[in-house]
Amino acid sequence: MPNGSDPWESRGARHIRDFGIFKATEVDREGPHGKTGRFVVLDAPDWGIVVPVLERDGARYFLAVRQFRHGSGKVSLEFPGGVVEPGEDPARAASRELREETGYIAGSLSFLGDLSPNPAILTNRFRVYLAEDLRLEGEQSLDEHEIVDVQELPEEDFLDLLGAPGCDHALMLAAAFLYLRDRERRRAGAAGCGNPPSAV
């Protein structure tokens, strides 16, 4: 008996239209139940997101960007990021977006995760990086229609805002989850070094 884990077989595809930021394609696929259906998928470029962390006087801050989003029609507080250009390394794209949107460059860039933004319709990937040892290199270098405000927010304050109006971009929440998972793994690794703590 077929189940949801069984793959579907491709039976053809037709290009519908190129919208620039994505291409719409109609695909024919036959399921494990023996039936064939037509489905629309969106071929979009991969995205690179960077979680920039500043350390100052023992405290950690996120470097965030605030900008108007045309889909929601509202201003959104986010991590820097954008499109991975054809042939571009995703880590280089994340570093480029950090520099363009904030003016900062990272002395250290660590890979946090590779996710599917919406596997129901999107074919692209969403790659997240942690940027540390930040240094201000110069002014922003924005596209014609980009208006981006840069903000430094204490780590916990930013995390507390996630999910609230104006800070509800689902991909940013996913990036924050990957960051928190990495932070806990680092703490666990540090705790495992040397002699175990004594019982209180």
Angstrom CA distances, 172 to 21, 129, 132, stand at 20, 12, 18
State yes or no: is 144 an active-site residue: yes
Task: Report yes or no: 150 and 80 within 8 Å, Cβ to Cβ.
Answer: no
Q: How far from chain centre, in Å, is Cα 109?
A: 14
Active-site position among 144, 146, 152, 155: 144
User: Which residues 6+ apart lie within 8 Å of 177 measured at CB?
Assistant: none
Q: Give catalytic residue positions.
A: 144
